[in-house]
């Protein structure tokens, strides 16, 4: 399984970690991330009935395309035009209908009146918090699913960002789920070629 590396989309990021940086990284390879959905995401969401979904910080759009293949009406938002175009090309080749949006997650808002049955935030590591906004975009019964590198991964795991400010812990994600019904909140161990990575998963529902 391809390791889920640091994707710092906007905010107080190190030099070079901006849209141009990620456009360049995507340009240098045919595919930076796996084309398959993350195993934990697939396990959590795969059996849910489809609805309207938002893949927030979508990168190359693998999760948006996967959701579309399951019948979801999917929107993918990312600030890398190269990543979004790569996702669009792959989805078009597979006959999948996804709405592709090039935008910064710090400032993007859904169209007025739009809500989602699923907001997915997968490996979006920022120096400032955007999760407090996404709660407002959930439809009644809609789910927020957040998966990312755990702070404990710095000392006990492999890969990912090496700055604790960019990593998740359960207390942080509990705050992100304020006002929602938490269904799952726990660390997840993820095997990689270099060892075991430690992620944190939140599943919370309005």
pLDDT tens digits along 138-161: 999 999 999 999 999 999 999 988
Q: How many Cα neighbours within 13 Å face the side chain of 103?
A: 14
pLDDT of residue 1: 32
Can you tell me the distance from the alpha carbon of 180 to that of 199, in angstroms, rounded to the nearest whole number? 21
* CATH number of the domain to which 102 belongs: 3.40.50.150
- Cβ atoms of residues 142 and 117 within 8 Å: yes
pLDDT of residue 12: 35
Query: Is 138 contained in some domain?
Result: yes
pLDDT over 90 (residue 45): yes
Range of the domain at 192: 19-205
Q: How many Cα neighbours within 13 Å face the side chain of 21?
A: 11
For residue 99, give the DSSP letter: E
Distances (CA, A) of 63 to 16, 69, 154: 25, 10, 26
Query: Is 8 contained in some domain?
Result: no
Higher pLDDT residue, 76 or 129? 76
- Kindly report, residue by residue over 111-126, the tens digit of the pLDDT: 999 999 999 999 998 8
Query: Is 2 contained in some domain?
Result: no
Query: Is 62 contained in some domain?
Result: yes
Query: Is 84 contained in some domain?
Result: yes
The total number of structural domains in the chain stands at: 1
Confidence of residue 8 (pLDDT cuts 50, 70, 90): very low
Distances (CA, A) of 190 to 23, 61, 85, 126, 182: 27, 21, 28, 21, 22
Can you tell me the distance from the alpha carbon of 23 to that of 83, in angstroms, rounded to the nearest whole number? 7
Confidence of residue 29 (pLDDT cuts 50, 70, 90): low
- Cβ atoms of residues 199 and 192 within 8 Å: no
Confidence of residue 13 (pLDDT cuts 50, 70, 90): very low
Query: Is 64 contained in some domain?
Result: yes
Query: Is 14 contained in some domain?
Result: no
Confidence of residue 18 (pLDDT cuts 50, 70, 90): low
């Amino acid at each position: 399984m391809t390791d889920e590396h640091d994707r710092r989309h906007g905010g107080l990021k190190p030099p070079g970690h901006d849209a141009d940086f990620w456009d360049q990284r995507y340009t240098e390879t045919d595919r930076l991330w796996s084309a398959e959905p993350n195993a934990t995401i697939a396990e959590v969401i795969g059996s849910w009935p489809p609805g309207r979904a938002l893949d927030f910080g979508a990168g190359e759009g693998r999760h948006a395309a996967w959701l579309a293949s399951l019948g979801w009406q999917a929107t993918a938002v990312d600030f890398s035009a190269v990543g979004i175009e790569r996702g669009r090309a792959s989805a078009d080749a597979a006959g999948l209908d996804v709405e592709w949006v090039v935008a910064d997650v710090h400032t993007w808002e859904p169209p007025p009146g739009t809500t989602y049955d699923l907001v997915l935030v997968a490996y979006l590591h920022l120096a400032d918090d955007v999760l407090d906004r996404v709660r407002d975009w959930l439809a009644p019964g809609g789910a927020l699913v957040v998966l990312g590198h755990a702070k404990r991964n710095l000392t006990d795991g492999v890969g990912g960002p090496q700055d604790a400010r960019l990593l998740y812990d359960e207390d942080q994600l509990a705050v992100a789920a304020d006002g929602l019904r938490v269904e799952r909140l726990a660390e997840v161990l993820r095997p990689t070629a270099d060892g075991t990575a430690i992620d944190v998963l939140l599943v919370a529902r309005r």
